[in-house]
Chains A and B, each alone.
Chain A
């Protein structure tokens, strides 16, 4: 990756509202054809980073480069190379799917027969062709997301930016969205940059930037990130989790944390630990004990000291 020029370079990007820093010295690179995810809870600065990258908010410091060229929000040539998928709809609810796509295509200089054939292709790719004549407000949330993706791909961008692409979608739609993104990358070499608060979504990326309080605390592949969590994760479902943490620390000298109401213990050879934990706790405290491999949610907890469900108050 280092040998060739990255497709996208983010260098020390800063943004503050008054005295409150929302993004502090954000730096990372995304290679051509790479899928890069920014993982963090609500309030971590993901949406702000997305708005800056999409050219909607000017950064107050730092630079964003596309193939080495400085990218400014007003540069139309470079903006034509970006495709943007918003979390909130960017479609006119009262117009049909096809009307929306035609209007959007023209924003990128695509009209007439060229636009029509491109729209037909994308309606098929997004599996929405049978609803092309329906007004957007009659579509379900999942279908609207598919139209949003089609809209962002009309002009065949080199870089696709997605803000929380699967938030609120069910498991089947999540899988299908990712099959679609993977096919896009494989077939067209598209570079994809997305924000997410879902660890299972970050797992799908080639590399993940862990964002907390407007700062990147780690950038690595999901596997390398997971190696930072030692061995196994023992998860306890129990009454009074805070108290259980204290008990485990006092009696077994175990580093335990609470996440989403459950007690999490990271340890090599976790299976040997389980009988000792069960014996150390008062009878009836535990509802269940589970042993599993670490996820990116565990990584986030380890790196930041709080869970991904935690809302950062800034």
Chain B
């Protein structure tokens, strides 16, 4: 091996000075393609993405079925009630796991190469958030396809708001996950925040159980929790607009989607600021 001569070819047509926007778009595209390549590379992840929430839905669903009663709509069983919650859980877990990897990736992984390249940190955050969201949405789509099992018919579903709210909550949760991962810079700390903040955001969103008027504290927490609006809009879309039972959140689907959009914009802005501030 050592006898071989080392010929370094003159770099022709390699140096380029693309404009700033092209550079930023290329950086975003690299990060999205990378997350998708990784996702489709691992078949076990595809199976896990469907099997784990399905199991969770069926086990918790049947366990709760006996005692669950939706105020104002006694005909709705728990499996039906819990279905949009599970879709949200799929998005949340995908967001958590794809952004947790940022902690290692930044010090001993691909993101090091992105950080020294000409693209900005803003493009890095945008690309990573879009890539993670795409993975989360692919997983959620697999589960949404099972909607008829929960009693929802494809024909009745309001698809446009359903897709819109899923895209926005995926962006919001991955951006939030990214901001936390970059800021905390420690897997142990991230696990704590996941248990203390991220999972509770989901549990207290109406995903698992509805708030009733008899629990004013809980109802208030749900009202200030932005994830509740995603849960409500998702539920509403699955029913094609009219949700059975008394809703704790006022406003219709457009208002709920607006809240989720604001949540996504705030989380993305926070993630970008954190990435610039914390070296």
Contact = CB atoms under 8 A, between A and B. Distances in A.
Interface of A: 54-58, 74, 76-77, 79-80, 82, 84, 86, 88-95, 99-100, 103-104, 106-111, 114, 118, 121, 124-125, 127, 151, 154-156, 172, 175-176, 179-180, 183-184, 187-188
22 contacts: A76-B118, A77-B118, A86-B113, A88-B108, A90-B109, A90-B113, A91-B113, A92-B34, A92-B109, A95-B41, A100-B110, A106-B26, A107-B27, A107-B118, A107-B119, A109-B18, A114-B14, A127-B1, A175-B2, A179-B2, A187-B8, A188-B11
Interface in B99-143: 107-120
Contacts of B2: 172, 175-176, 179
B21 to A, nearest CB: 11
A79 B118 contact: yes
Contact of A109 (B4, B23, B110, B115): B23
B15 interface: yes
B22 interface: yes
Contact of B8 (A74, A103, A125): A125
B6 A106 contact: no
B29 A55 contact: no
A84 B118 CA distance: 12
Nearest to A190: B8
Contacts of B17: 77, 80, 109
A56 B115 contact: yes
B279 interface: yes
A175 B42 CA distance: 37
A176 to B, nearest CB: 6
Contacts of B115: 55-56
Contact of B9 (A92, A94, A121): A121
Nearest to A186: B8
Contacts of B112: 84, 86, 88, 90
Nearest to A80: B118
Given A88-B107, A95-B34, A114 B116 contact: no
A94 B41 CA distance: 8
Contact of B37 (A58, A95, A151): A95
Interface of B: 1-2, 4, 6-11, 13-18, 20, 22-23, 26-27, 29-30, 33-34, 37-38, 41-42, 107-120, 279
A76 B33 CA distance: 22
Given A114-B14, A188-B11, A108 B117 contact: yes
Nearest to A151: B113
Contacts of A156: 11, 14-15
A184 B6 CA distance: 9
B110 A188 contact: no
A114 B108 CA distance: 28
A94 B117 contact: no
B101 to A, nearest CB: 10
A57 B116 CA distance: 11
Contacts of A180: 6
A84 B116 contact: yes
Contact of A155 (B9, B14, B22, B110): B14
B8 to A, nearest CB: 5
Contact of B113 (A74, A107, A124, A127): A107
Given A89-B109, A187-B8, A74 B120 contact: yes
B6 A125 contact: yes
B26 A58 contact: no
Nearest to B116: A84
Contacts of B117: 79-80, 104, 107-108
A106 B30 contact: yes
A76 B119 contact: yes
Given A80-B117, A90-B110, 19 more contacts: A54-B116, A84-B113, A90-B109, A92-B38, A94-B41, A95-B41, A103-B110, A107-B114, A107-B118, A107-B119, A109-B16, A109-B26, A114-B13, A127-B1, A156-B15, A176-B1, A179-B6, A188-B8, A188-B11
